């Protein structure tokens, strides 16, 4: 038999035709699955993953917005009290004003101001740290112990932000008066500005 006749004889059988159609259908379906369904499924899964990522980002943004709104409401509440911040930490050193308050507090408590020195004030800070610049004042005052205690309390009650870095109390030996009125107190005070 001839090759063409053999092919015609084989293709003429019903079973071979059915198998040929099944093979062609499977080939076409595989082709369709690979080139049409697979990209659609991969796009669907990537969109789903992207949607989950966007939900996470949205939650972070929503949390940050809530924090920002909380900060804004706190700022609005404290806006009326901003003058207290300006008085506590002024923009300039205002050394003369601070000295006036310290001297009047000392004199008001019955203390005698012996000596006041002001350390060098840096108006422009070259450092990048987050500490406030300060004015350091050293005072030598003379008086009774209770007056010194009242003086330190009065310093802490003033609106200007100050810290007492060091206090040293010594008795004056050459005084004839009582021991409590003969106290020489050295106070190191820092006043802050912005």
User: How high is the pLDDT of residue 77?
Assistant: 85
Domain extents for the chain? 3-76, 89-192
Residue among 179, 169, 180 at smallest CA distance from 144: 180
User: How high is the pLDDT of residue 160?
Assistant: 86
User: How high is the pLDDT of residue 188?
Assistant: 92
User: How high is the pLDDT of residue 57?
Assistant: 96
Query: Options 3.30.1110.20, 3.30.310.10, 3.30.70.60, 1.20.1080.10; which CATH number does 89-192 get?
Result: 3.30.70.60
User: How high is the pLDDT of residue 158?
Assistant: 86
* 49-99 pLDDT per residue, tens: 999 999 999 999 999 999 999 999 988 888 888 888 888 888 888 888 888
| pTM of this structure | 0.55
User: Which range, of 63-72, 122-131, 135-144, averages the lowest pLDDT?
Assistant: 122-131
pLDDT at 12 over 90: no
Residue among 143, 92, 137, 94 at smallest CA distance from 118: 137
Estimate to the nearest angstrom the gap between the alpha carbon of 141 and the chain centroid.
Answer: 41
User: How high is the pLDDT of residue 84?
Assistant: 82
User: How high is the pLDDT of residue 116?
Assistant: 92
DSSP H helices, the chain, are: 3-11, 14-32, 38-78, 82-88, 95-108, 145-157
The residue ranking higher by pLDDT, 59 or 11, is 59
User: How high is the pLDDT of residue 3?
Assistant: 82
Order of strands across the sheet with 162-171? 112-118, 134-143, 183-192, 162-171
* 143-178 pLDDT per residue, tens: 988 899 999 999 888 888 888 899 998 887 765 555
* 99-116 pLDDT per residue, tens: 899 999 999 999 989 999
């Amino acid at each position: 038999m001839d090759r063409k006749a053999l092919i015609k004889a084989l293709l003429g059988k019903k079973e071979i035709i059915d198998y040929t159609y099944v093979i062609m259908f499977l080939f076409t379906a595989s082709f369709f699955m690979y080139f049409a369904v697979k990209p659609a499924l991969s796009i669907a899964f990537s969109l789903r993953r992207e949607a989950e990522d966007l939900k996470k980002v949205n939650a972070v943004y929503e949390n940050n917005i809530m924090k920002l709104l909380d900060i804004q409401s706190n700022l609005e509440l404290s806006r009326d009290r901003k003058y207290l911040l300006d008085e506590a930490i002024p923009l300039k050193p205002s050394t003369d004003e601070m000295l006036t308050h310290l001297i009047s507090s000392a004199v008001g408590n019955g203390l005698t101001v012996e000596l006041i020195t002001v350390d060098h004030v840096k108006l422009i800070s070259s450092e990048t740290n987050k500490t406030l610049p300060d004015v350091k004042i050293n005072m030598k005052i003379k008086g009774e112990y209770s007056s010194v205690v009242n003086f330190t309390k009065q310093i802490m009650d003033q609106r200007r932000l100050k810290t007492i870095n060091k206090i040293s109390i010594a008795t004056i030996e050459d005084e004839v008066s009582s021991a409590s009125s003969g106290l020489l107190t050295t106070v190191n005070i820092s006043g802050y500005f912005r």
